[in-house]
Structure formats: structure tokens, C-alpha cells
A and B are shown apart, each in its own frame.
Chain A
Amino acid sequence: MNSNLNANKDLHIVRREDLPQLFNILIKDGHQIVGPTLRDGAIVLDVLEGVAELPLGWTDEQDKARYRLVKRKDEALFGYSCGPQTWKKFLFPPDHILFKADKTRHGWRIDAGENAPPKFAFLGMRACDIHALTELDKVFIAGEYQDSAYLERRENIFIISINCSVVGNNCFCTSMGSGPGAASGYDLALTEIIDGDLHYYLIEVGSEKGEEVLGEIKHRTASQEEIRKGNELLTAAAQAISLKVDTEKLPKILKKSVEHPRWKEIASRCLTCGNCTMVCPTCFCSTVQDYTDLRGSQASRLRKWDSCFNIEYSYIHGGSVRYSSEARYRQWMMHKFASWIDQFGSFGCVGCGRCITWCPAGIDVTEELRFFCQNPLLDTTAKSA
């Protein structure tokens, strides 16, 4: 958890009116800037040309199965919590062509070539989303096999994170140890401060590249008073988070709860729609789809996002392994909070709360986790007798 700005680093101030310089320098440097913008009644992530496209003066209200945009009283650019989209869609695209193949007289010719992806600058990543990125790195590049498409996109990103001063009702990053401030993983970290007529960004530098970029923008060293204000905002944000999960014994409790009656109860509400997996910043499952032309002389293979809530997900000849919805919900929750630790050494959840907001049935994952913690299944050895 990080609810304090790094006291050992020099902190800088960039005034709101100088923020366009950040866009200019990044674009001049060949980056495609991706950040939050307003669309379809939500704050989504898209390619940005300038500051004007940021959701100026907007905030969001989130609750179980509820998301609404509301006007703010000020002109904050980052005064909201996380929206329905996650950054994974730029690094691990929802549709990705693995290869195309043409039938020739000598067999086939496989074309795995891909146009070079853009050099991304991610503007406005939250601490939870940066944590999610480190989880995806473990999945796609840390193991024996690397996902070249992910790696190619990941390598050159410039990350400008935003420390959260506004938290959503569904945020629980403090329980997952991922926020509300970013501890590392960024090139520049911004804290937005609006103090009467003053509107500025307190900036932490996280890398050499970040320092270079900051050097091109009009800035000055932050005063003690400004740093105190930043810390105040972060502390207040951390305190405003009311959803809590006690993670200490969670993996153990869940592993003992495989046959808990609660799964069936959750399943009576779960629609197995997979929304939670689509909005999750760490869900990485994918499937493949094959296409051919009618003559069967051309083929292509696409990788698409998949969800463990789909019944086909566990299909082997004869039927699906996880045919009931309770088994599928259990797979999702156990993966995030128990088996992810065996696989990658950490939780697969960063506490962003998106799955709570976007579950049409309003299932609150923290509520369910608390239920398992408070009602553990007693050891039953009776059946082996």
C-alpha cells in the first residue's frame, strides 16, 4: 500500500496550463498517447491528441452494478476512479491475428508478420492498473515462453500514472496492497491538486526516461506545503476506501472451501456472463478461432479474449469439465485469490473493483470473500471413514 509520496525523491510541480507540453513532447517523441476520455456515457481509454480530450470536470459514481457520470464542481482532469476498460486491451488485444496461411503448390506459406505496434504512452494509469500490468508481465513474458505480441507492445511504453485522490465505492486497493498511490512501475507519477484558483500536478519521477520528458516541460521544485497537500489527498483517499478484505488467510480458507454450499448460492445470482473477466485488468485467458475462405486456400488464426465463465472454456470431448455455474464462479474466484499465488507468487486481484461495478447482478467479490472468511467450511473427515 502506498498512501504517501516518496519523501526521498525530489518532487516537482507542473502547472495545469503547462500540461499540453507533456502531450507535445510525447507525440514529438513518436508516442501514441492513450488515456481516459468520455464516450458512450463512460470514461473509456482511447488514443488522445491533446488535453482537451480528457474528461475535464467529470467524475463517476460507482456502486454494485451501477456506473454514472456526474459533473464536478471544479475542472479536474483526473477526478474520477477507474472506468470499464483496462490497459490490457492495448498490450493484449481482444482480437489478435496469430498468423495467416496460404495454400501453395508446395504446402502452405505461413505469414506471421505483424505491422509494428505503436509506441504507447499510457496517461492516467492508476496504481491498481500498474499492479495489474506486473501480473500480466508474469503471465506473458516471465516464463519459459514469451508472448511476442505482448512483449513488443510492452517494452516501449511510457507510463504516466495518476495517484488517486478520488476513490470509487467499489475500490479495495488498500486490501490488495496496490494503491491508492503508485509505489513504482511508472515513468512519471502525477497527483492532481486543485487548491482554490491553483490547479497543478505534483510530479514524482520514476525513471531516467521520465526525467528526460519532465526536463522538456516547464516545471519547478515542489514546496513543502505542496507536498503536504499531495500527501493529505492520498491519505484521505486511502481512508475513504471502505471495502475491505482480509487477505492474510484467504488462499488457505478458499482452498478448504472447494465444496462450500456458498458457491451454489452465488451461482443462483451469477449469470455467467463473463463481464467480470472482460473488465478485469489481470484476466488473461484467450481462445483461438480459425477462419478460411470458401475454397479452403487461405486460412487465418485469431486469438481472442475468453472467459472461464463460458461453458466451452473447459470443453473436452464428451463435455465441459465445469458445466455448472457454481464451478465456473469458483474457478474464477479461486484463481484470483488462491491458485494465482501458486502460479505467480501474488494475488491475481488488484482491488480495482471493476468486477463489482460491471456485474449486472451486483455480485460483490469482497462480500463473497468475507463470507468465506467468516463461515469457513469445517474439516470433514467423515466421508473417508
Chain B
Amino acid sequence: MKARHSEPMIPQPFRVAKVQKETFDTFTLQLKSSKGNGVSHFSPGQFNMLYVFGVGEVPISISGDPSNGTLIHTTRVVGNVTKAMGKLKVGDVIGVRGPFGTPWPVENAKGKDVVIVTGGIGLAPLRPALYYFLKHRDEYGKIVLLYGARSKEDILYRRELEQWRARFDLEVHVTVDRGTGNWRGNVGVVTMLIPKAPFDAHNAVSLVCGPEIMMRFTVLELLKRGIPESKIFLSLERNMKCGIGHCGHCQFGPHFTCKDGPVFPYDQIKDLLEKREI
């Protein structure tokens, strides 16, 4: 019998333990349960519904280390709730419901090369997967991270990216849309990095998260390299009010993005992705 959840719509109070500004419009919150019962276990790729007292609730992917007891969320300020969330200080209380949704296939990727392609804030839901891969580094083939940001000021987790790039067991390539100031790296869209990325397409799994248009073009490049459709995984974004498949908002064709997704294998959704306004 499936596990039953009695009050899935009631947020649990968590306290802000640390606030970190990432870029001009993104920030990371470290949360600790007010009740001292830690965080419930989550899998890389899952999300929580975060509730700001009296303002509202939004789905935010979990971006911390799954093996670590702290709950970490990186958020971009795009609306009322995320704006209010950005004003929270250490010690403030925030409501948490979750974790919800399908995870990245980190177990099934064992023994294979892993190609992560992300754009903008899309790196946040992939960071837990990356932590997982690095913790179990020997169980995977090549690990490639391709990341695109608008400009060098928009690069998320910059210090960590630099550390990862310095490792011999990880291939990290970053590109920006606008090469401003003293940027000396790649300029252009992230899909440009795919043709030359070092991985064995016939034994690789690709994890993709970014704006939908970026994901569509990324898939085209990955397919050109020869990765099968069933080995490409995308994390989708839709309006969500409940996270448990009851409110209807996140429907994407027959799928409830909150519980059947957000991570989907490409072959399951490709027909829908090609259509407008699904």
C-alpha cells in the first residue's frame, strides 16, 4: 500500500538559518526545521512548496546536498512571493511542504556518462544531482556540466563552479550570452557547447534544466550527438498550487507536472513539447 499523507496542504514551520545573495536577482536560503526534526529525506530533482506568511506559496526546487541534513533553496526574484522571500532574515520562519515530484534518475545513470545541460537558475535543481554524482564519483563514467548564463554577473554558484572546474574528474564548461567586461570564456548559447563535449553518446544519460526554449534546442543537439530520447531527462516548470495533483494547475497534457514530473524522460513528453500552449 502506498504511503498516505494526512495533511499535505499544511506547511511545516522552518527557520531561516542562513541567507546568501548569489547574483543580483537570486539568493539561497538555508532552512532548519523549527520543530528540530530535521528535513525529510529528498531525492535530487524534487521540490518543496515554500510559504511566506500571509503572502503566498511557490514551488522551489531543492538545491542542497541530499546527504546533508540542511534544506537549501536557491530562488530567483520573479514575483510577489519570491520578492518577500528575498527579504527574509536569519531567524525568520518560512513554511515548507514537500518534498514533491519525481527525481533525476541518478541511480539508473550509474555506469554511464552523465551530461548535465543547464541554463540560468536551472542549475539550482541540478546541484543536488551533481553533489550525488561527486559523492559516488567512481560509479559513473565521464561527468560533463554545460552551463549557460546571460552574463558573467548572472553566473550562479560561481565559486563552486570554479572549484568543480578545477577537478580532474569533472568537465565543466560555462558560456554567457553577453561577453561583458573582462569575460574571457565562451560566448553564445549553451547548446553550442554540446557538439564538442566529451561523452560517449551511446552510453550516456543527459539531465537538462533551463528555460523551455533552451531545453528544446538542447534536446535537438543531444539527439544529433546520438543520445537516445529515453536517456534525456528534462525538468519542467508549470503553475503549481498544491504539489499533490489536486489543484489541476500544472497539467501538461495527461501529466500532472507536480507528481508525474517535474523530471520527465524526453520520449514521454516530446509530442507535447512540440506543440504551443499545452
| Interface residues of A, Cβ cutoff 8 Å to B | 98-99, 101, 103, 107-108, 110, 112, 139-140, 143-148, 258-259, 284-288, 290-292, 296, 298-299, 301, 303, 306, 308, 313-318, 321-324, 327, 330-331, 334-335, 338-339, 342-343
Which one, B8, B9, B93, B278, contacts A107 given CB within 8 A?
B93
Task: Confirm or deny: B13 has a beta carbon within 8 angstroms of a beta carbon on chain A.
Answer: yes
Which one, A143, A316, A327, contacts B245 given CB within 8 A?
A143
Across the A-B interface, give the 10 residue pairs with the lowest CB-CB distance, nearest first. A292-B54, A299-B54, A342-B254, A285-B248, A327-B277, A317-B78, A339-B254, A145-B244, A107-B93, A145-B8
Which one, B8, B242, B275, contacts A259 given CB within 8 A?
B275
Which one, B8, B53, B248, B259, contacts A108 given CB within 8 A?
B53
**Residues of chain B lying within 8 A (CB to CB) of residue A145:** 4-5, 8, 244-246
* Contact across chains for A316 and B3 when beta carbons are under 8 A apart: no
Please tell me the number of chain B residues within 8 Å of chain A, measured between CB atoms: 43
* Contact across chains for A112 and B246 when beta carbons are under 8 A apart: no
Which chain B residues (26-82) contact chain A, with CB distance < 8 Å?
34, 51, 53-57, 78-79
* Contact across chains for B241 and A286 when beta carbons are under 8 A apart: yes
Q: How far is the CA of A148 from the CA of B276 in the complex (A)?
A: 36
Asked whether A287 and B245 contact (CB < 8 A) given A98-B10, A108-B53, A146-B5, the answer is no
Task: Confirm or deny: B220 has a beta carbon within 8 angstroms of a beta carbon on chain A.
Answer: no
**Residues of chain B lying within 8 A (CB to CB) of residue A108:** 13, 53, 93
* Contact across chains for A107 and B275 when beta carbons are under 8 A apart: no
Q: Is the interface of A mostly helix, strand, loop or mixed?
A: mixed
**Residues of chain A lying within 8 A (CB to CB) of residue B251:** 308, 331, 335, 339
* Contact across chains for B248 and A321 when beta carbons are under 8 A apart: no
Among the interface residues B3, B56, B246, B256, which one has the most CB atoms of the partner chain A within 10 A?
Answer: B246
* Contact across chains for B276 and A327 when beta carbons are under 8 A apart: yes
In the complex, which residue of chain A has the Cβ closest to the Cβ of B77? A317
* Contact across chains for A317 and B277 when beta carbons are under 8 A apart: no
Q: How far is the CA of A296 from the CA of B87 in the complex (A)?
A: 15
* Contact across chains for B34 and A107 when beta carbons are under 8 A apart: yes
**Residues of chain B lying within 8 A (CB to CB) of residue A99:** 9-11
**Residues of chain A lying within 8 A (CB to CB) of residue B253:** 334, 339
Chain A nearest Cβ from B248, distance in angstroms: 3
Q: How far is the CA of A341 from the CA of B92 in the complex (A)?
A: 44
Q: Is the interface of B mostly helix, strand, loop or mixed?
A: loop
Task: Confirm or deny: B159 has a beta carbon within 8 angstroms of a beta carbon on chain A.
Answer: no
**Residues of chain B lying within 8 A (CB to CB) of residue A296:** 53-54
Asked whether A112 and B248 contact (CB < 8 A) given A107-B15, A144-B259, A291-B54, the answer is no
* Contact across chains for B277 and A316 when beta carbons are under 8 A apart: no
Which one, B10, B79, B256, contacts A343 given CB within 8 A?
B256
Asked whether A315 and B246 contact (CB < 8 A) given A110-B13, A290-B54, the answer is no
Which one, A147, A292, A317, A334, contacts B246 given CB within 8 A?
A147
* Contact across chains for B10 and A112 when beta carbons are under 8 A apart: yes
* Contact across chains for A290 and B55 when beta carbons are under 8 A apart: yes
* Contact across chains for A314 and B249 when beta carbons are under 8 A apart: yes
Task: Confirm or deny: B239 has a beta carbon within 8 angstroms of a beta carbon on chain A.
Answer: yes
Task: Confirm or deny: B182 has a beta carbon within 8 angstroms of a beta carbon on chain A.
Answer: no
**25 chain-A/chain-B pairs, Cβ below 8 angstroms:** A110-B10, A110-B11, A112-B7, A112-B10, A143-B245, A146-B5, A146-B8, A148-B7, A259-B275, A285-B249, A291-B54, A292-B53, A292-B55, A296-B53, A298-B54, A299-B53, A308-B251, A314-B238, A314-B239, A314-B249, A315-B239, A316-B239, A317-B78, A335-B251, A343-B254
Q: How far is the CA of A324 from the CA of B15 in the complex (A)?
A: 41
* Contact across chains for A139 and B277 when beta carbons are under 8 A apart: no
Task: Confirm or deny: B223 has a beta carbon within 8 angstroms of a beta carbon on chain A.
Answer: no
In the complex, which residue of chain B has the Cβ closest to the Cβ of A313? B249
Chain B nearest Cβ from A28, distance in angstroms: 33
Among the interface residues B13, B245, B251, B275, which one has the most CB atoms of the partner chain A within 10 A?
Answer: B251
* Contact across chains for B277 and A284 when beta carbons are under 8 A apart: no
